[in-house]
Amino acid sequence: MKIFATLYVLFITISFSFLKQQTPLQESIQRGKEVYSDFCVTCHLENGEGIPSTFPPLAKSDYLLNNRNKSIKGLKYGQQGEIIVNGLIYNNSMPALGLEDEEIADVMNYILNSWENTSNKMVTPEEVSKITE
């Protein structure tokens, strides 16, 4: 009976550990949240709402969802000039932040899956590496 009880407890423990494992996207989002806190929160604010007429919102952002490559390029090389986000014109500059491709992928995954944004396709470091100036 002790063997059965021990095996049962072991089975339950292993089962729960598998259920708690995160998917690669969830792991990337978690890392991306840290990158966002370190580099993006100052201008785009904690909830991604941005500052009207100055820094565009990342929350509910049609630009991010419709311009995936341009968004990645902006993070990788900086962004300058006019863009339209949710129907409003923004004409400011964002310097290149010096992030590695994995950090860019992670923060993009965080942004694309936060604040009412949803993306079915995970951004990968390989995808980021293919974006050129």
- Asked whether residue 4 is assigned to any structural domain, the reply reads no
- Asked whether residue 9 is assigned to any structural domain, the reply reads no
Give the pLDDT confidence score for residue 14 in this predicted structure.
Answer: 61
- Asked whether residue 110 is assigned to any structural domain, the reply reads yes
- Asked whether residue 12 is assigned to any structural domain, the reply reads no
Give the pLDDT confidence score for residue 3 in this predicted structure.
Answer: 73
pLDDT tens by residue, 34-80: 999 999 999 999 999 999 999 999 999 999 999 999 999 999 999 99
pLDDT tens by residue, 11-41: 665 655 555 688 999 999 999 999 999 999 9
- Asked whether residue 16 is assigned to any structural domain, the reply reads no
Phi, then psi, of 98 in degrees rounded to 5: 75, 30
Q: How far apart are CA 48 and CA 51, in angstroms?
A: 9
Instruction: Domain of residue 84: give its range.
Output: 23-129
Q: Is the pLDDT of residue 133 over 60?
A: yes
Q: How far apart are CA 126 and CA 120, in angstroms?
A: 17
* Domain CATH number, residue 94: 1.10.760.10
The pTM assigned to this predicted structure is 0.83
Domain count, the chain: 1
- Asked whether residue 121 is assigned to any structural domain, the reply reads yes
- Asked whether residue 114 is assigned to any structural domain, the reply reads yes
- Asked whether residue 14 is assigned to any structural domain, the reply reads no
Mean per-residue pLDDT of the chain: 90
Give the pLDDT confidence score for residue 6 in this predicted structure.
Answer: 60
